[in-house]
Amino acid sequence: MIKIEKRNDVPMALYFFTPFIAIILTILGGGIIFYILGFNPIEALKFYFITPISNLYGFSELLLKATPLCLIAIGLSFCFKSNNWNIGAEGQLTFGAIVGGGVALIFYNQEGFYILPLVILAGAIGGMIFALIPAILKTYFNTNEILVSLMLVYVSKLLLDYLVVGPWSNPEGFNFPETRQFSDSSRMPLLFEGLRIHAGIFLALAAVMLSWFILYKTYLGFQIKVSGLSLKTAKYAGFKGKTMILVVFMISGACAGLAGVGEITGPIGQLHRMISPDYGFTAIIVAFLGRLNPFGIIFASLVVALTYLGAETAQIFLQIPKYTGQVFQGMILFFLLASDYLLFFKVKILSLKKNDLRH
Amino acid sequence: MYKNFFKYLISAIFLLGFSVNSNADFKVGFVYVGPTGDHGWTFQHHEGRNAVEAAGIKTTFVESVPEGADAERVIRQLAQSGHDLIFTTSFGYMDPTNKVAKDFPNVKFEHATGYKREHSNVSTYSARFYEGRTLLGHIAGKMTKTNTIGYIASFPIPEVIRGINAMTLAAQKVNPNIKTKIVWVFTWYDPGKEAEAAQALIDQGADIIMQHTDSTAPVQTAEKAGVWSFGQASDMQRFAPKSILTSIIDDWAPYYVERAIAARDGTWKQQDTWHGLKEGMVAMGPYNSAMGADLVKEVEQLQKDLASGKVHSFTGPIYDQKGNILVAEGKVADDGMLAGMSVYVKGVEGDIPK
């Protein structure tokens, strides 16, 4: 007979160590998959995890890819820590990009140092407003925020489709579904000649510092953590639950909006239909892999970004199907959840005795 | 001063690391927008790659590369890892291709369906798919009972509008009562949406379904509903053996082999290619026997005439929806007009989405 018991004392050190176990298990699992597919697992893993970042360009691309993931995951950590399940970061990213991109288009062909900050601000506000929809519906109408935020992803994507096909499409672009290329004054400055890494990375780092400060040094952070641990306690302590829900959603939306605006003013340079390869969803994995801890999230965003780059490199050099990248991301989450389960619960195998059978 | 020094240092390291790209062994890279198993657009480019491989040239491909920020990295990685010729096979790769081409003057780039050739090492190529549409139009005009042709369109870009117009003109020639109904799905590949669009058109009385999208969902929907359909990009006959009358096949293989050999032998030059039935870049799938021997003969003759240039898909008089003349009697539309086509011809229903 198998009995599952809750563990009472889970050491903190072990709690932060399990993500590493999950990553090691993922690498082992990946090696086995490569072996089954007929590739040399050591060589395949080398192309997957080492080759992509073995030079300066590769490393800068890793940072570029990790930037939006980190930003979104930081935002999501506020929601998840306080038991608010915002699954729609992808939609908030898209809406932020729409608003920010709209401002960039207003200032098309104009110069001014104030344009880029305006564009970035607009993106953050856009994401914030879009995240407020599920938050308000949750606080005042008791709707389920998972469903609402998820469904709003499609709303924002369709809105983007409409805008780039119709009113915002490039007048010289033969009706192709894309806007004009933004002017230089609304593009993120590049950090190095020849590399695509841009000033957006500082937004991500600022978000990390700020979130650490809010979560661990302010009353709001305390409220968030208590609500996450026990909603009843939070109510009993007299916390204003509604305001807090609105605030965490706004923070989360603003971060996603910033990620979106960073992509369109950074490497992409215009609005079109493919501004994000589902960063908003992948960031959920990042948030949990990083244990909802600001510094953990930096680490997790780098690991997950590497699975994207590795999938490309492995296909270029070994012709391993690119979808293994998604398999790796899936495996990381699976192993993390599995080891968490074993961390928080004991599995006891009890031997059957005659006495037990009598009942 | 220091800032500049740092800049140059970085650039120098960067260039040193990646300029090791000699003529040791010649390799061709391909960037695909979809999976190789989409049985449409990417599938056909992959077939072209197989032909290059069969010609004894080493190739590499990367599939399902999003047309966003990732494309540039993939193209650059191919250029860095010793590929001498790189085919980027979707419109959305236009800017990234030109950007990478600037940094790798010794690597040749071929971009499908685009119009920007900003550097001397970038060529563009596309196919005159509209010639195939003319054949479909002729068949559709003869086969329809309801005089309604359903057309599933992706994006209102010139290529798609050209196809709609070419088909409608050819259909009108054999059947003046023809109507073309269009559903815009705003995607190149979404089986669910495409199937819904096909069903909507069938419900509106279309007994011929035509698609400018890449999945096999429309032909399968047509097969179920018992109406006619045409395959797109590849020979889709086995997905709807009763319903498919023929398919327009994009045959990139001869072009890819020719360009790969030219690049290997050092005779590659920048060009803008627009090949059609004549060169074989547009080919037709087997004709359904339900068309009857006479119609098949007619269509085969028309195919020959289009290939030889005796017949042009856009021969005047051509009128727009309001009745204004677009191409005068006895004239044919020139390539400039075709490349920028953005109005429907008379007989097409509805407006182009704006």
Chain segment B13-62, per-residue pLDDT in tens: 444 444 444 445 899 999 999 888 888 899 999 999 999 999 999 999 99
pLDDT in 10s for each residue of chain B, 354 residues: 454 555 554 544 444 444 444 445 899 999 999 888 888 899 999 999 999 999 999 999 999 998 888 999 999 999 999 999 999 999 989 999 999 999 999 999 999 998 899 999 999 999 999 999 999 999 999 999 999 999 999 988 899 999 999 999 999 999 999 999 999 998 888 999 999 999 999 999 999 999 999 999 999 999 999 999 999 999 999 999 999 999 999 999 999 999 999 999 999 999 999 999 999 999 999 999 999 999 999 999 999 999 999 999 999 899 999 999 999 998 999 998 998 898 999 989 888 887
Q: What is the mean pLDDT of residues A312-320?
A: 91
Q: What is the mean pLDDT of residues A90-113?
A: 96
- CATH code, domain carrying A74: 1.10.3470
pLDDT recorded at residue B1: 42
pLDDT recorded at residue B22: 42
List domains and CATH numbers for chain B: 2-127 (3.40.50.2300), 129-249+282-339 (3.40.50.2300)
pLDDT recorded at residue B249: 95
Name, in order, each residue with C-beta under 8 angstroms of A333's C-beta and a sequence gap of 6 or more: A285, A288, A289
Name, in order, each residue with C-beta under 8 angstroms of A243's C-beta and a sequence gap of 6 or more: none
pLDDT recorded at residue B63: 93
pLDDT recorded at residue B4: 54
- DSSP summary character for residue A39: S
Residues A182-192: pLDDT tens digits?
999 999 999 99
Q: What is the mean pLDDT of residues A136-161?
A: 95
pTM: 0.87
* Contact residues, chain A, for B115 at CB < 8 Å: 174
pLDDT recorded at residue A241: 78
For A4-8, A57-61, B76-80, which range has the lowest pLDDT when averaged over its residues?
A4-8
Q: Which pLDDT band holds residue A349 (cuts at 50, 70, 90)?
A: confident
* Contact residues, chain A, for B92 at CB < 8 Å: 272, 274
Task: Looking at chain A, list the stretches that DSSP marks H as alpha helix, in order from N- to C-terminal side.
Answer: 12-36, 41-49, 56-81, 89-106, 115-141, 145-165, 200-217, 219-229, 231-236, 241-263, 279-289, 294-318, 324-344, 354-358
Give residue A50's domain range.
Answer: 2-358
pLDDT recorded at residue A228: 82
Half-sphere exposure of A218 (CA within 13 A, CB side): 10
- DSSP summary character for residue A85: -
Distance from CA of A170 to the nearest CA of B (A): 11
Structural domains in chain A (count): 1
pLDDT recorded at residue A253: 98
Name, in order, each residue with C-beta under 8 angstroms of A338's C-beta and a sequence gap of 6 or more: A22
ipTM: 0.85
Q: What are phi and psi of B183, to 5 degrees?
A: -120, 125
Please check whether residue B107 is in contact with residue B21, taking contact to mean a CB–CB distance below 8 angstroms: yes
pLDDT recorded at residue A5: 83
Assess whether pLDDT exceeds 90 at residue A35. yes
Distance from CA of A78 to the nearest CA of B (A): 27
Assess whether pLDDT exceeds 60 at residue A354. no
Rounded to whole angstroms, how far apart are CA atoms A45 and A41? 6
pLDDT recorded at residue B285: 95
How big is the A-B interface in CB pairs under 8 Å? 104
pLDDT recorded at residue B7: 52
Compute the mean pLDDT over every residue in chain A, rounded to the nearest whole number: 91
Q: What is the mean pLDDT of residues A244-258?
A: 96
Distance from CA of B342 to the nearest CA of A (A): 8
Rounded to whole angstroms, how far apart are CA atoms A42 and A27? 10
With an 8 Å Cβ cutoff, the interface of chain B facing chain A consists of 7-8, 10-11, 13-15, 17-18, 29, 60-70, 72-74, 76-78, 80-81, 91-92, 95, 103, 115, 155-158, 186, 340, 342, 352-354
pLDDT recorded at residue A357: 53
* Contact residues, chain B, for A61 at CB < 8 Å: 73
Name, in order, each residue with C-beta under 8 angstroms of B6's C-beta and a sequence gap of 6 or more: none
pLDDT recorded at residue B24: 52
